[in-house]
A and B are shown apart, each in its own frame.
Chain A
């Protein structure tokens, strides 16, 4: 991965000037590459990483992982069904997997009832959906390589040779 993408993925607030200092690339070159990545759809956005475990968010209190068995459509495979499913705003992630089921969804809602209703009324009745298994999420420990807990105290001495 380009060093610029790597640095941005760690800290989206890093400036082209700072990237330049860290990489010895010229500031203009950094800006040019970022523009290019944005245009090509490689850089899709910049956002904060929030520990949702610690924030009250009434609209999205409950999260569930849902396994979905799908009958693929002729010529379209899973893509069309997946699109119909991931277009619901409740679905925050959607993956196609190998193994005993096909799609894995992450669904968010304000309470158990909302999520259950989504499964019962929207997802299950879909023509190509053969079955679902819903797992409600109890606690997140680590997500996207980030360990979700408050900062650890510094264990080093503040000064040493």
Chain B
């Protein structure tokens, strides 16, 4: 008998269904990729330079478990100024290894076995597995294009059960680009408040919101005491590889998260924290320029998608579009594989983000405008050819 060394918990985790497709992309040359979940910009020079300087100056040690005092103070100050949020730098802010760690800590800190967490689908790939690993029971809420992939008060009400302890929010959303206005969030918050449900809010794309101002969940009336606010530097500051994020929340939750963090991670690398400090106090111009660029590309992409016959709701944030490819008659996986093989354009099948993603693909516009143009010409060509083939066969 083969007795596996791997624990049941891990064996039970679903392996990613599209690993094969990812390997196919990574093995091909000269592909135009609309499949990348990170900015196409390099971290602005002033941030990189400050990290280099900190190394020259000898900042190579551990930091406090919670993160550099200076960085936490800058974050508190930034949130206060930008959103009017009051988080205490000593007790209510924890520096994490990206939002990913913040998410893991938050879930491990609040779940007892059987506790349910609501996760809107399609969703970023890690929410379900991390919730399960943390001992929670993920309950997936299917969102549909007819609702603009948005959670509505009705859908929320329908899904709350006696064991629902928390809900995971991610807005602007990867993969759909959907975000919520203050009014929409307010309506959801009322329901959550009534049931005493906690909110884990992943707002890493916050500043990449294009049609209205972003509203952090914890700014809503009465929400701060039940919200773990997660954010980081990866997307807005083009700092994915530095791995710096932060979690803000009520002090008992942050203390619980810090307890886990101090035993498992100790602290976020000091160089990355130094760079994050500069990101917050340095010039905003490069950030504003990146944002403006994404905004324009978003408009271009939505227009082109509708022009070539792939209907797409208008994403309000992040750098993703999530068009329907149902008209082609292909599955998401087939569409992506054939487009890759025939036209050398890579995108991510919607099914990577849950079964609800069947019939959709995720297009990342974190790619230069000239490549975007070329990619869309190729997709258009691909669709025409496909159309002819179906015709001649029929």
Which positions in A face B, CB cutoff 8 Å?
A: 11, 18, 21-24, 155-161
Q: Is the CB of B25 within 8 A of A159?
A: yes
| Centre residue among B31, B300, B352 by max chain A CB count within 10 A | B300
Would A158 and B346 count as touching, CB distance under 8 A? yes
Q: How far is the CB of A106 from chain B (nearest CB, A)?
A: 26
3 closest cross-chain pairs (CB), A and B: A159-B35, A22-B296, A159-B25
**Nearest Cβ on chain B to A152's Cβ, whole angstroms:** 9
A22: chain B residues within 8 A (beta carbon): 296-297, 299-300, 369
- What are 30 A-B residue pairs whose CB atoms fall within 8 Å in the complex? A11-B369, A11-B370, A21-B299, A21-B300, A21-B303, A22-B296, A22-B297, A22-B299, A22-B300, A22-B369, A23-B296, A23-B299, A24-B299, A155-B42, A156-B36, A157-B36, A158-B25, A158-B33, A158-B35, A158-B36, A159-B25, A159-B26, A159-B35, A159-B36, A159-B346, A159-B348, A160-B36, A160-B37, A161-B126, A161-B174
CB distance from A26 to the nearest CB of B (A): 13
| Alpha-carbon distance A159/B369, docked complex (angstroms) | 18
| B251 at the binding interface (Cβ < 8 Å) | no
Q: Tell me whether B26 and A158 are in contact (CB under 8 A).
A: yes
> A94 CB to closest chain B CB, in angstroms?
29
Q: Which of B22, B40, B174, B303 sits near A156, CB closer than 8 Å?
A: B40
How far apart sit A145 and B298, CA to CA, in the bound complex (Å)?
25
Contacts of B387 in A (CB 8 A): none
Task: Determine the chain B residues whose CB is within 8 A of the CB of A156 once the complex forms.
Answer: 36, 38, 40
**Distance in Å from the Cβ of B20 to the closest Cβ of chain A?**
12
Tell me, yes or no, whether B74 is within 8 Å of chain A by CB: no
Query: Closest CB-CB distance, A48 to chain B, in whole Å?
Result: 14
B124 at the interface (CB under 8 A from A): yes
Whether B125 pairs with A161 at a CB distance below 8 angstroms is: yes
Neighbour of B373 across the interface among A18, A23, A159, CB < 8 A:
A18
How far is B35's CA from A18's CA once the two chains are assembled, in angstroms? 22
Give the Cβ gap from A29 to chain B, nearest Cβ, in Å.
15
Contact partners of A159 in chain B: CB under 8 A: 22, 25-26, 33, 35-36, 346, 348
Beyond the given A22-B296, A161-B348, could you list 6 further A-B residue pairs with CB under 8 A, ordered by the A residue number?
Answer: A22-B369, A24-B299, A159-B22, A159-B35, A161-B125, A161-B352
